[in-house]
Structure 1
Amino acid sequence: MTKLSELNPQPLWQFFEKICSIPHPSYHEQALADWIMNWAKEKGLEAKRDETGNIFLRKAATKGMENRKPTILQAHLDMVPQANSDTQHDFTKDPIEAYVDGEWVKAKGTTLGSDNGIGLASILAVLDAEHIAHGPLEALLTMTEEAGMDGAFGLKPGWLNGEILINTDSETEGEIYMGCAGGGDTHVKFAIEYQDAPKGQAVIISLKGLKGGHSGADIHTGRANANKLLARLLSELAKQSEYALESFNGGNLRNAIPREAHCTIVLGEDKLSELEQFIDTFQATLDSELGAIETNLTIAVETTEAVQKVFAPAFATRFIQALNASPNGVISMSHEIKGVVETSLNMGVVETTDNGLIKVNFLVRSLVDSHRHYVEDILASLFNLAGAEIYSDGGYPGWKPDANSPIMKVVRDVYSNLYGELPNIMVIHAGLECGLFKTAYPHWDMVSFGPTIQFPHSPDEQVEIVTVEKYWQLLLATLKNIPQKGE
């Protein structure tokens, strides 16, 4: 079996293999950060960290390149921790088991962390190399991008001297990004109204097997949201059967399309066969609607131990109807950039807590800040009517495209010279950190590119090997062609 370290370019893959061996989910990047700092100091690189934990590395220009514009290579340290339900994996302790599968690198039952591990590995490989041509070089490695962009929010002026920033967090080879959506979190909280559970059988309904994926990059694909499907199921079930709802849980990250959701209900023991028949019919309906996309969708019913309390009927109705009515997915397409999503939202997490609350978390994205605020207002209107508390926070700006960006033109021309075709110049519907960087460093000229990564933020995540080689060659050629100072 081919080892990662045997793939080309070997320096990059060797660093990626090392990154996979050190657990680094969001909020648990310290071990990886410590390793990078120790490695950098052993290499004789200037290395420092700020209060947020961001890492700053600096390497002098290679001989003859001292007069080039100082350039920053940027990646984030954390990865999204997602595992299949049948995979036992502690992301804070266990390494990622990456392996080669034909033309792709994947992980056994979990997210791979190629988002943004490949970009991070490429930066370390450049800093490690002796014979790569580059001007004055800095690296910015940010903390906790996936769970709130903490590092980008915490970035302060004065830490970096670069004029150009190359972000390595894009996920389609052949596409060069010059802008991205902004976003923000919306939090809903219901105070549950309880009553004693009726006599009957407690049943767990589990909906699983969805593809999931990135709530920005994959939101236009039509992939189903497990939370929305389960709310629809309960709404339909209420039309033909009486039941009491005890809990509802689905998804675990606001920036990942939920793949699984489950609820516990109580219904008459003589209604089990009727429920099973309903589930079969409902699944057939979903297969008819979604079968071309969601090929592994399953709905399971299993009996469970008796419960002591359930949601009061009026409250349960308000809650289910609010979830069922809530917008989700693509809201609008850009009128200025063909084929690009302008505004979307993802009902990422629904959680029944032990202290009598139901929490619902959304991530709203938009290229236009005012339209993001409008969608947040729509959610507030809906959930206020349903009797919930709701607020939005964590908003971050988008990265406004600059059609006259010098570095974008350099990358475009370098790509054309390397591969004989022009790349697609794109705006991504995801939250790259570039928009936030402009707050502290408004003069930066920025561009983003990377290899092809499919299904990020899900256990199906995979990175295409040949595109990693192409990305690497593009990165090296771009560094070689950075303009001189003053140009």
Structure 2
Amino acid sequence: MSKLENLKPQKVFYFFEKICSIPHGSRNTKAISDYLVSFAKDHNLEYYQDDSNNVVMIQEATKGYEDAEPIIIQGHMDMVCEKESGVEIDFEKDGLDLYVEDGFLKARGTTLGGDDGIAVAYALAILDSPEISHPRLEVVITVDEEIGMLGAEVIDLSMLKGHKLLNIDSDVEGSFLTSCAGGMTAKAEIPVTYQKQEGCLFHLKLTGLVGGHSGSEIDKERANAVVLAGRVLKYISDRMNVGLVSLAGGLKDNAIPREVQMDVLVSEDDKKAFEDTIATITTILQKEYSMTDAGLVLECSDAGNQEVEMLSFTSMSKVIFYLRNMPNGIQHMSMAMPGLVETSLNAGIMELKGDVFTVTHSIRSSVSTRKEELKEKLEYLVSFLGGELEVSGDYPAWEYRAKSSMRDLISEVYQDLYHKEPVFEAIHAGLECGILSGKIADLDCVSFGPTNLDIHTPQERLDIASTERVWNLVVEFLKRAK
């Protein structure tokens, strides 16, 4: 029995529930891609599936719309897979546990994937309906958007005829995006060495942080667990001899990390002082982040006396130096658009594994030269420590278009339906519109979507009423797109 059968629009939630039953995290998109192909076959649609699992589906115009310009509907099929501590789920194999609460759709203990499963659900519901009037529809569903827009980078769109695009990958109803930042993923790799040492081993776990989207929520001053790990280690090492045994935190470069774990070694004589030091730094952090991360906790457990492999003093110094000196968060605010973050980066994943310490950053900027300058700053810092910086997923910014018939029409429809002025703005988060603009000449596009809160975190929740209103907006837009 469907959990969402009583929600409206019924077809949208039917397809959304189906999508959520299929694992579809980034780099795990074969099953969802094949589902889209199966849908296309069942509906006798022209379709294309490439080796990366991107899918294009084409439906010809309905009667009376044969001469209208085609409309491209675009979104991505992959989701960010984050979960709360203790939640048992294998994102490679398991679907999501959906439930409805207080007018919102949620997934129990995990991200929901409304970013961007709702775009896929809207597209399928439109293609499935014999009643919706529309021009030729060209539905483009990409993969691996969440890890650098890799699908959009390689997709072949030569079969498309349209130059007008609806990107359904925004998360505030009534806010229509007309430009976005460019970005890249930068992975710092610093070599380390180990030595054997005996002492008292302590497990430290920093939890309770809010996290969030590293683009749209980078200005919220939320704690970054990776950054705080460096601060905690520096605070301890300034007060006693300590050895670093293990260190890991964060799951996605474009999600503000919520947790970090580390094992440290201290002498028997320093046990009490160590525990007191942890209590002190915990109090300091809880006070500083009381307004943004009220649940912050630094847990400390004694694992007893052990002989372990810990980092050499030089290697530990390199790790702490990098974590304390790497840039993070907002670097520049836009002077052209007051209130908009222009340039930022997020340390999203940290791992000490084997002979390499790695930190993976998401870099964003609406100014290409500042994006490069930030990359070079990281590169200089990493090379100073004897390491290398690996860059991937470099994508361009989506530049504002002075004249836009798409913007004009969606504004008209929105005002007619809801008697409100739409808000047109830029966003610091990345969207695929920039890459697609480089593939489709004279592309006119607008990005929008229903209200979806706390994306990229297990608190993600999709506003059900908003989903219906945006559905009505899309249907009416297609009806008027003659």
TM-score by shorter chain over 0.5: yes
**Structure 2 equivalent of residue 46 of structure 1:** 46
1:250 is aligned with what amino acid?
Answer: G
CA distance in 1, matches of 2:144, 2:393: 13
**Structure 2 equivalent of residue 138 of structure 1:** 138
**Structure 2 equivalent of residue 248 of structure 1:** 247
- Structure 1 unmatched ranges of 5 or more: none
Question: Is the alpha carbon distance of 1:456 and 1:276 closer, same or farther for their aligned partners in structure 2, counting shifts above 3 Å?
Answer: same
Q: Is the 8 A contact 1:179 1:401 kept in 2?
A: yes
Residue 384 of structure 1 and its aligned partner are, at CA, apart by: 2.2
1:434 aligns with 2:449: no
Q: Is the 8 A contact 1:254 1:346 kept in 2?
A: yes
Q: Is the 8 A contact 1:78 1:145 kept in 2?
A: yes
SS at match of 2:80: coil
- Structure 2 unmatched ranges of 5 or more: none
CA distance in 2, matches of 1:29, 1:315: 38
1:171 aligns with 2:171: yes
**Structure 1 equivalent of residue 479 of structure 2:** 480
Alignment of 1:43-442 (within 5 A): 43-197=43-197, 199-304=198-303, 306-353=306-353, 355-442=354-441
TM norm structure 1: 0.96
Residue 392 of structure 1 and its aligned partner are, at CA, apart by: 2.6
Residue 308 of structure 1 and its aligned partner are, at CA, apart by: 2.5
How many residues are paired up? 481
CA distance in 2, matches of 1:340, 1:477: 31
Residue 391 of structure 1 and its aligned partner are, at CA, apart by: 3.5
CA distance in 1, matches of 2:142, 2:5: 25
Q: Relative to structure 2, which stretch is displaced further, 145-154 or 177-186?
A: 145-154
CA distance in 1, matches of 2:134, 2:157: 24
2:63 is aligned with what amino acid?
Answer: K
SS at match of 1:236: helix
Residue 108 of structure 1 and its aligned partner are, at CA, apart by: 0.7
User: Which stretches of structure 1, 4 residues or longer, exceed 4 Å deviation after superposition?
Assistant: none
SS at match of 1:23: coil
2:449 is aligned with what amino acid?
Answer: G
Q: Is the 8 A contact 2:187 2:360 kept in 1?
A: yes
CA RMSD in angstroms, aligned pairs only: 1.5
Q: Is the 8 A contact 2:319 2:357 kept in 1?
A: no
1:288 is aligned with what amino acid?
Answer: K
SS at match of 2:212: coil
CA distance in 2, matches of 1:345, 1:36: 34
CA distance in 1, matches of 2:53, 2:318: 43
Q: Relative to structure 2, which stretch is displaced further, 171-180 or 312-321?
A: 312-321
CA distance in 1, matches of 2:476, 2:334: 32
Q: Is the 8 A contact 1:366 1:429 kept in 2?
A: yes
**Structure 1 equivalent of residue 461 of structure 2:** 462
Residue 269 of structure 1 and its aligned partner are, at CA, apart by: 2.2
Residue 2 of structure 1 and its aligned partner are, at CA, apart by: 9.8
1:91 is aligned with what amino acid?
Answer: F
Q: Is the 8 A contact 2:163 2:441 kept in 1?
A: no
2:220 is aligned with what amino acid?
Answer: T
SS at match of 2:253: coil
Q: Is the 8 A contact 1:73 1:138 kept in 2?
A: yes
**Structure 1 equivalent of residue 34 of structure 2:** 34
Residue 96 of structure 1 and its aligned partner are, at CA, apart by: 0.5
**Structure 2 equivalent of residue 17 of structure 1:** 17
Deviations 1:343-387 (A, max 9, x none): 11000111111x311111111000011000111111122222233
Residue 304 of structure 1 and its aligned partner are, at CA, apart by: 2.8
Question: Is the alpha carbon distance of 1:307 and 1:128 closer, same or farther for their aligned partners in structure 2, counting shifts above 3 Å?
Answer: farther
2:115 is aligned with what amino acid?
Answer: D
Question: Is the alpha carbon distance of 1:157 and 1:112 closer, same or farther for their aligned partners in structure 2, counting shifts above 3 Å?
Answer: closer
TM norm structure 2: 0.97
CA distance in 1, matches of 2:155, 2:2: 40
CA distance in 2, matches of 1:333, 1:98: 38
CA distance in 2, matches of 1:409, 1:338: 23
Q: Is the 8 A contact 1:155 1:440 kept in 2?
A: no
Residue 71 of structure 1 and its aligned partner are, at CA, apart by: 0.5
